[in-house]
Structure 1
Amino acid sequence: MTHSNADRHDDPLFDPQTPAPRAGGIAARAQAAQVSSPARYLQGLNPEQRDAVETTEGPLLVLAGAGTGKTRVLTTRIAHILASRRAFPSQILAVTFTNKAAREMKVRIGALIGGEQTEGMPWLGTFHSIGVKILRRHGELVGLRSDFTILDTDDQIRLMKQVIQAAGLDDKRWPARQLANLIDGWKNRGLSPDKIPDSEAYAFANGRGRELYTAYQERLKTLNAVDFGDLLTECVRLFREHPDVLESFQQRFRYILVDEYQDTNVAQYLWLRLLAQRPEGERANICCVGDDDQSIYGWRGAEVANILRFDHDFPGAKVIRLERNYRSTGHILAAASCLIAQNESRLGKTLFPATDEMGAPVLVASGWDSSEEARSIGEDIERKQRQGISLNEIAILVRASFQMREFEDRFVTLGLPYRVIGGPRFFERMEIRDALAYLRVTQNPADGLAFERIVNTPKRGLGAATIQLIHSHARSRDIPLLAAAGELAATEEIKPRQRQALGDLVRNFARWSEMLEHTPHPELAEIILEESGYIEMWQRDRSPEAPGRLENLKELVNNLGEYDSLGGFLEHVSLVMDTEGGETEEAVSIMTLHSAKGLEFDVVYLPGWEEGLFPHQRALDESGKAGLEEERRLAYVGLTRARRHATIWFVGNRRVHGLWQSTLPSRFIDDLPEDHVEVAEPASYGGYGGAGHYGSGGYGGSRFERMEPFDSAYRTPGWQRAKSNRDRADPRNRTGRGPTTLEGELVAKSVIGGTSRYSVGERVFHQKFGYGTIHTIDGNKLTIDFEKSGRKRVVDSFVEAT
């Protein structure tokens, strides 16, 4: 096989005739001097870390527990290989999962040994970016020109829709997005069309899955295009069908390093195994860094088995365990280690703190329902804030995104700044904005912005031209868009199909507006979302995000029941949306457990530890024991995000799909070690949780239930009020879906009208915005000129006179 000048240029050692430094010469003596004296970059490493850095030859698995400095080990190892002249930069293959991680690695290596070294590392990057480089050089061998295009998700789905239609199938019955998810899953497992199991091929379009996959790949070749899955599967095919190309890369890469090995899928595993193969008698210099206990992405194709069988794939491999944790206190680490020890599929390690500090035990608290959970956590955060803990160092980690809404609402009431990590705030999510637009038009038919948002959502065949016509008619007649749409639907100006769709929509809004007078607004919201086809749109959507979007819509409908009118609810939402803080403002972080991996906080709250939610029922139903173990790994990840304080919450009642259900404590709670856990005293959180609320059967009661929550000597006014309100707060004693009672006050009072006790010009204080002067008053809503935050509109119950 011939090699281009470009190949030779970026690989100085490719030529076997390159001379080694002369023995005893200047270069050799300089090298020896550098190696013999302890390098600066090795200073500060603990014995296990240094062993991992200096073990450069042969296969090595570094089992790096949470907070044990794995990134430092990986970057220092590369720096050591370069500084000790074991390889040129172009001979090191270093693979990460994200571009951000690759950039960070380059910066760290540069800081250790000089930036000029990392400039010559063309093979440091993500699996996909390295796959692109390989295919640009040798793509013609698998039917690709070097200028091939990489399709994004939208282009991919558009192409699949064409393939489905060309096969004579109904693309509504067999959505392109569903086929895209299937094919992506097959490619993650390294399966070409002829390798798909028959049972899976029959799962789409009555057995035509294999045929459509084949047709899709043929269309890609015609377009000289690839999708992201092809960047690895085509490389694997290239290596298998052209051993000379594979051998050239095997010779090129003297050292292979892989980050987050526990998250690799089958295709990535095959790609790495091929590159790491060596002739019999030789050992590959491959180093994989990962943590089997943090493998939490099985739902997107990750295979924890890849890291578990490392020593089988590379006989004689050395395994180094990094167990010295620099992040968390002793109690947190002991609790997390005991929890994860219940998993059977793991290599095993036990984290211990780098210092002797045990810190506070992990706190386990129970409550009556999710409203109390959010209220209690909010109050505890305020206490922590008064103790001097920064809000930036506080996080709430939830199992499912729908849990966030309760906390967001509570924090708005408290004036507590927060940010949602890994996604928009609840009311900023696409599906919630769409649903709110339907409700806004029902409440106010003149709301043109809301009508424009959903006039063609879901798809009704109303394109840009039709919408432009509605706009023109509305302007010429000086009427709202909905009224203009109704008039146009009664004329011949638009095509019959669009006229019918527009007329149906206008008539629906008229009927829904009439129903406002006599239908409970939560029930009406369900009717609107069902009859508009919006719920069905997400039910038919086969993307991984669709189930979460449906859960969020159900949570939105649940939330409506807490307000006495649709108008009151929409006004509340407007106030929520107006509480955006600046990027630099301190704020509590709210995120899912999956989004939290790699992050750390001084204080972590873990709400929702209940059976069915955590472990999630879907994981148990779809994956059985493997699903349970991945859920337990997710719990371990959550606990190890905490540096100093970790609090686990479970409640006895949670509203699921609009109905209150009794819930059982998560089995993970009884996996925790009693010596490192403290049960929250009832007065600490004002909770209603405890014995007798979870019933018997199923998983059974937790040992943390065995106390009567009101059987205590506390006699504070708040405690007595909670005790007297206990029965009234019981969701099972509520009738109807009216506003809930919270400490004797209707929640709805914060958003409905009424006369304010304040007057224009009065000076007031707001917990978030500080001091200000009232500019105008509208009912119980005040427009205030704040001294530091500018003009804001707030409900009067959020301020106090000075």
Structure 2
Amino acid sequence: PRRGIGEKSHLVLKKEAAVEEQSLYEYVRDVDPKKSKLPARLINSLKTMVTNIEITRKELQKNKEEFPKILEDMIWSTGYQEHLLKEEDGDERNDNVKALFEDIRHFLKNNPESSFDEYLQNIALLSAQDEFVEGDYVTLMTVHTAKGLEYPVIFVIRLNQGVFPNDRSLKEGGVVALEEERRLAYVAMTRAKEKLYLTLTMDYSHVLQRNLLPSQFLKEAGNEILVEQENIFRSSSRGAKSQQGLFNDGDHLSFDDEASDDSKQTVIVEACNDVKDWNVSDVVIHKTLGRGVVTALEGDDIITVEFDDHGEKSVLGTHPSVAKGGHAA
């Protein structure tokens, strides 16, 4: 709601905030109503709104698992619903707000241990699919841009330690940054409808000052390195050294004229647990999450499991960390 603030009042607020070198939010929070050129009634109305926001922030920190209800209470307490219903398209806009809360509740249901910050990070990855037009061509995009999109074939490139996950991010953000990189890797790998290609380089990185190694996300995603062998790259004046790698990019990438005849190539294949099918009420034994019971089959080998100690989660039924433990009574 506008709270009686027109263009002129807004301009006055901006000027007063600029003098104090504060944002509008900070200025409204800190200003003495007597020192503003605007009516005290108007300033106090804004201060009430800011106070509600501050209280909501503290509640979100204390009760992270209740954030959908906290946010909904805050929005409606501001009088926003009454404001919307006065508009010509008020019912539709009100439904949009309700849909937002429903989306938040759905996210929390599927990610029960997530916080409001993680929800915001998730929606920040969403992109407007209308910007992409289907056609017979290759689309190059970042992982962030790919969120919400799907393609029959996906290539995720440069899955090297230090690149993805990114070295600089890990140094600056530690464990939190690693979790964010891992989440992005998950986003990248789940964009494929039919085929997923995970690639990396065997090159020497002058930025990292070392030979590039496979990303930890390859094994974490359930892939297994069957054969590890020497790379065709050889030492040279440029500093490239012999290393282990997963793919042979071709003789044209060798620093010497000839590649070793006995150079070998590492092969990655998807690992699975040999469980052919799951049924509701099957007992699941997960290496990390422990015991649980299948409550639903989502398709594409995804099963919904109610874990004894971790609640309901969706897991890949063919993942090597998952085993079948019989049938619940």
TM-score (normalised: structure 2): 0.41
Max Rg structure: 1
TM-score (normalised: structure 1): 0.19
**Higher helix fraction: Structure 1 or Structure 2?**
1
